[in-house]
Amino acid sequence: MSFFYSLLIIFASVNILLVSPKAVNMAEKLVETQSIPTNNIVEGGSKVKGTSAIIPRLKENFTSVPYVSATALVVKDTSSKTLLYVKDPDKRVPIASTTKIMTALVASEYFKPADVLTVKTTSLVGGSSMGLKLGEEMTFRSLLYGMLLNSGNDAAFTIADNYPGGKDNFILAMNEKAKSLGLINTHFENPAGFDGGTHYSSANDLAVIAEAAITNSQFSRIVSTKDTVVFSIDKQSEHSLKNLNKLLSLPGFLGIKTGTTPIAKENLVALVERNGRKILTVVLGSDDRFTETEKIIDWSYSNFIWE
């Protein structure tokens, strides 16, 4: 009989503990931390040795992670390569015009800023545009501005069309670049980000692509530009460009690229710096990319410490 009463006492104690506010809070914290990676120094899934970067660590009394509708998400400290928060980071999803980060990366390895490129028939596609005309000649630098600020699909295809071997070879080069970066959840069908059955990436992979792109000073300068005007070589055409990234108006935000399609929904790769610490975020498949990116960045800086 004493054994039976002991079981009753244990059962009652457990129930009291579980319904207590403190226990509920502890349970919530446990669920939240399941999405927060251990603070290993990672890069492309491998530990980086010999780094002197400070590794951010989660505060003991961290606050609840804000709700995000995004399908996939990554928050990364750029110095130590530490992942601060993830949500389905390796899930293959459509990425819309964030594709153009890879387009810029591949193109910048071949073209020089002053190279003159010609708009061809195949360059004039639908969707976002910088307003190019058939036969118009633009410098590669100007096309980069049109592609990364206005998210011009016409600029992306003009760049691809002028690559040796044309658009098909350029797309091949994009996929080869993905392989060279060690990406296994990325494949491209086009240089602009149109939805397709085999056009996809992951939050983790896109973070790696963005990190590679921001090492290029020209790319970093362009994606942090709010607006500008570019001209055709003959000065007959003027293109007023405005960055679609609304977060550039906030302190510390440095770019990088937006993207939206009906299937991919709202996407944003963003770079921000506060107190000398840079964080890269990738938000994919969101209902509100700007608000969710801002919330997750604020949470990260408030709940991690660098010391």
Please report the pLDDT score of residue 49 as a whole number.
53
Query: pLDDT band at residue 34, thresholds of 50, 70 and 90?
Result: very low
Given a cut of 90, is residue 166 above it in pLDDT?
Answer: yes
Three-class DSSP labels, the chain: CHHHHHHHHHHHHHHHHHHCHHHHHHHHHHHHHCCCCCCCEEECCEECCCCCCCCCEECCCCCCCCCCCCCEEEEEECCCCEEEEEECCCCCECCHHHHHHHHHHHHHCCCCCCCEEECCHHHCCCCCCCCCCCCCEEEHHHHHHHHHCCCCHHHHHHHHHCCCCHHHHHHHHHHHHHHHCCCCCCECCCCCCCCCCCCEECHHHHHHHHHHHCCCHHHHHHHCCCEEEEECCCCCCEEEEECCCHHHHCCCEEEEEEEEECCCEEEEEEEEEECCEEEEEEEEEECCHHHHHHHHHHHHHHHEECC
Instruction: Check pLDDT > 80 for residue 89.
Output: yes
Residue tagged active-site, from 87, 100, 167, 257:
100
CA atoms within 13 A on the CB side of 52: 0
Q: What is the pLDDT of residues 169-213, one digit of tens each?
A: 999 999 999 999 999 999 999 999 999 999 999 999 999 999 999
Q: Does pLDDT of 41 surpass 60?
A: no
- Range picked from 3-7, 33-37, 230-234 for highest mean pLDDT: 230-234
Q: What's the whole-number mean pLDDT along residues 260-269?
A: 97
> Domains, the chain, ranges and CATH?
96-305 (3.40.710.10)
| pLDDT at 45 > cutoff 50 | no
Q: Is 151 a catalytic residue?
A: yes
pTM, whole model, 2 decimals? Answer: 0.84
Residue 31 pLDDT > 70: no
**CB within 8 Å of 178: residues ≥ 6 apart:** 102, 186, 187, 188, 205, 209
Which band of pLDDT confidence, cut at 50, 70 and 90, is reported for residue 22?
A: very low
Residue 50, pLDDT score: 54
Share of the chain above pLDDT 90, in %: 75
- Predicted confidence at residue 33, as pLDDT, reads 41
pLDDT of residue 58: 87
Verify whether residue 79 is a known catalytic residue.
no
157-178 average pLDDT score: 98
User: In this model, does residue 114 exceed pLDDT 70?
Assistant: yes
Q: What percent of the chain has pLDDT over 70?
A: 83
Annotation says 224 is catalytic: no
Q: Which of 76, 80, 81, 97 is catalytic?
A: 97
